[in-house]
Amino acid sequence: MEQNEETTRLWGGRFSSGPSPEMTALSLSVHFDWRLAKYDLQGSRAHARVLHAAQLLDDDELDKMLAALDELEKDVENGSFVGTAEDEDVHTALERGLIERLGTLGGKLRAGRSRNDQVATDLRLYLRDNVRRIVADLIDLQQALLGKAEEYRDVVAPGMTHLQHAQPILFSHQLLAHVHAFARDVDRLRDWDKRAAVSPLGAGALAGSSLALDPVAVAKDLGFERPADNSIDAVSDRDYVAEFLFATALIGVHLSRIGEEVVLWTTTEFGWVTLHDSWATGSSIMPQKKNPDIGELARGKSGRFIGNLMALLTILKALPLAYDRDLQEDKECTFDSVEQLQLLVPAVTGMIATMTVNSDAVSRGAGSGHALATDVAEWLVRQGVPFREAHEISGAAVRECDERGCELYDLTAQDLAAVDPRLTAEVLDVLTVDGALAARSTHGGTAPTAVIKQIDDIKASIAAQRGWLEPAE
């Protein structure tokens, strides 16, 4: 296969022939790394300015170069310029586009950089941009959960462990628990951004450049905090990708958890929640069905996010320094996690924001299942009984209820005294759901006063998250 001027690749000079069709097919990445075109052009502008500062481009050449890059970006955006199989990757395609517009001048842009530092820079720019979009979506989800918590703030629910009734809680308290998980996800992404704000551009293939380039200026131009301190590490480091994929995997786990709860809450057996028609689906055979598909897809896609993380870690394991072609495989799993998360989070947000909570159904079982047993034990503790004994006494009262087929609050003062004389009539004061809720007023508790404080704190947290986004808007 002869190589001609039109199909010369970025690496073709040393070779007497082009690659075999099989080699071309295996090496091809432009069909997925085209997502990086915007960021590659951004890096090219910064690199052109550094070449000009190093007197490798004169003023006229720089102006023509920047104008051609702007024109090329418009053509990429409107679809009139696209990468092809002959281009191999996004970098080759865009160099072709530049040379088509500038002729030999376009070839000057390659000086002092390699595809190794280009792709590492592009991927960091892509992820930092998309992380801000993901954070914005997570803020909207927190806001939707907060809105429902405020709307149904005083609705009592059975708090569960092992999916068994445990203690009464406010339903708003459970909704807010999900908000805290997503707030931690935002914190992780914000913290990730500090480590991702390092520019690899200027590292070249692995050893830097003998040209008088300025990695510090490039880093500043591209919005990074600083350039990489080691050129080998700059082109081989994918920690920031692995860390990002861990964060998205954990977001997926959190989405899966709330998805599962919505699936349970919408069952006939629970009946706690009704989904809006526009955020549910039906059955092709059973006319009565209303399926919580978004919750189910949240569960399913969590495995996909986890799988993408595992795929990357496996790719990175035992790679020798510096750059290896294995790293071509880092992008598809990363793009998939970004794009699937940007589909899923808004859908979950819409499901939550539009669902109706059936308050009577939620509250109906709040005190059942002997959910007040802990309150009996803690009442005994306040009377000076060691908790070990108090636990046994309360358990004996539960056993009495099981034998009678009743709840703790159905027992009379005489019944309780028969279980243990230390269960005096005053214990009846704690055998109410409202009393159990009000008693848990410490920080982070489920008492109405504590939940109001929690809501105020969450509002401040969401405001701080929005403030982090403002500089990037």
Catalytic positions are 162, 283
Beta bridge partners of residue 442, listed in sequence order:
none
Query: For residue 291, which phi and psi values (nearest 5 degrees)?
Result: -100, 135
Whether the Cβ atoms of residue 422 and residue 383 lie closer than 8 Å to each other: yes
The pair of structure tokens assigned to 332 is 């598809």
CA distance 209 to 230: 12
CA 472 to chain centre: 18
Using alpha carbons, select from 275, 198, 185 the residue that is nearest to residue 229.
Answer: 198
CA distance 335 to 332: 5
Query: For residue 290, which phi and psi values (nearest 5 degrees)?
Result: -135, 105
Burial of residue 361 (number of CB atoms within 10 Å: 0-12, 13-18, 19+):
middle
Whether the Cβ atoms of residue 110 and residue 198 lie closer than 8 Å to each other: no
